[in-house]
Amino acid sequence: MERLLQYVFDGLSFGAIYALLALGLVVVFRGTGHLNFAQGEMAMFCTFIIWQINEWGVPLVFAVLIGMVFGFLLGAGIEATVIRSVAKKSPGGVFVVSIALFLGLNSLASMIWDRSEGYTMKSLFPNKPLDFVRILGAEWRYKYIGVLIVALMLMGLLFLLFLKTKFGLAMRSVASNPESARLVGVPSGLVLAASWGIAASMGALSGALVGGINGQITPSLMFSVFIYASAAATLGGLDSPGGAVIAGLLIGVGEQLAAGFAPGWIGQDLKLSVALISIFVVLLVKPSGLFGSLKVERV
């Protein structure tokens, strides 16, 4: 029982990070109809910015906030200067551009921060050996509790933004019918740029949380996290923010249980397989995702 709870606790914390990044994918997809395959690398690059600012003497909390602002500007700038013009000429070109951004940001980070063994990343939360609380015999480390609380709080704020503000209404209008939104005066270009900015800002926080858990950062920091987040977005439904959150938590718990209870010689390898199998099964059985909406076209 203690072992089961341990994996569930850890899985919820990791799942909250996957959900956060998956929510960014959903925000972009709802606004543009495209998946941002560079989401993970944008998060990684922002994490290095956060690390660098912290190294210059800025407290980590403020470094994270600055990194999130940088992420917003990066995402909004990419959408306004690159994605928008490519989408007008060739919607399929957005896929190519996002892959190019993936490779470009990874190469740029490797060039600037070229230490092969990575860089030590501090945690936002207490991370000493005795920094944990025992619940029903299972140890829940403070850094995992902090990650879960911060991720859930940000997701809650985002849902309030989407559902209770004029900007959220504008986002839903553009996602539902961009042309009609333009006709009634909704600044669709600004909304789309802001959507990319919000997604990148969420990615920056995700990267900081992952770096704090791992204790170090490398240019490959977010690769596996992005796969899990993509699985969560696919499983929950690419147009369902709530579905992405639920699926992210489920995948986080599922991969920890798979790694913990599978035979030792396949445990760690099986963790990534959980995400890949989830994507395959959902696309095969229910392409719209568990909570995604089915689109019906009149012919």
* 211 is a domain residue: yes
pLDDT at residue 295 tops 70? no
More confident residue, 167 or 82: 82
Element (H, E) at 267: helix 267-285
pLDDT given for residue 264 in this prediction: 59
* 230 is a domain residue: yes
pLDDT given for residue 115 in this prediction: 72
* 292 is a domain residue: no
Amino acid at 146: G
Amino acid at 184: V
* 150 is a domain residue: yes
pLDDT at residue 298 tops 50? no
Structure tokens at 72: 């917003």
Q: How many domains does the chain have?
A: 1
pLDDT given for residue 299 in this prediction: 41
Collapse the DSSP code of 196 into the 3-class scheme (helix H, G, I; strand E, B; otherwise coil) and give the result.
helix
How far apart are the C-alpha atoms of 115 and 107, rounded to whole Å? 13
pLDDT at residue 265 tops 60? no
* 296 is a domain residue: no
* 294 is a domain residue: no
> In the predicted model, what is the mean pLDDT of the chain?
84
Q: What is the gyration radius of the CA atoms in the chain, in angstroms?
A: 19
pLDDT given for residue 297 in this prediction: 44
144: Cβ–Cβ under 8 A, 6 or more apart, which residues?
Answer: 9, 10, 13, 213
Q: Which of 112, 123, 128, 14 is nearest to 64 (CA)?
A: 123
What's CA 191's distance to the chain center, in Å?
19
pLDDT given for residue 206 in this prediction: 93
**Distances 126 to 32, 141, 167, 193, 230 between C-alpha atoms, Å:** 39, 9, 36, 36, 29
Q: How many other C-beta atoms are found inside a 10 Å radius of the C-beta of residue 118? A: 16
More confident residue, 285 or 147: 147
pLDDT at residue 275 tops 70? no
Q: Which of 165, 290, 299, 151 is nearest to 232 (CA)?
A: 290
* 151 is a domain residue: yes
Write the CATH number for 32: 1.10.3470
Mind listing the pLDDT tens digit for each residue in 39-89? Answer: 999 999 999 999 999 999 999 999 999 999 999 999 999 999 998 888 888
Q: How many other C-beta atoms are found inside a 10 Å radius of the C-beta of residue 124? A: 18
Residue count of the chain: 299
Which own/partner contact pairs does 98-106 have at CB distance under 8 Å and 24+ positions apart?
A: 98/34, 98/35, 98/36, 98/37, 98/38, 99/37, 99/38, 101/37, 101/38, 101/41, 101/42, 102/37, 102/38, 102/40, 102/41, 105/38, 105/41, 105/42, 105/44, 105/45, 106/41, 106/44, 106/219, 106/220
pLDDT given for residue 55 in this prediction: 93
126: Cβ–Cβ under 8 A, 6 or more apart, which residues?
Answer: 142, 143, 146
Can you tell me the mean pLDDT for 222-228? 90
Task: Find out whether 201 and 72 touch, Cβ atoms under 8 Å.
Answer: yes
pLDDT given for residue 76 in this prediction: 95
- Segments forming the whole domain that contains residue 216: 2-285
Q: 69-73, 134-138, 229-233 — which is least confidently predicted?
A: 134-138
How far apart are the C-alpha atoms of 161 and 158, rounded to whole Å? 5
pLDDT given for residue 262 in this prediction: 65
pLDDT given for residue 200 in this prediction: 94
* 297 is a domain residue: no
pLDDT given for residue 165 in this prediction: 84
Mind listing the pLDDT tens digit for each residue in 20-46? Answer: 999 999 888 887 778 899 999 999 999
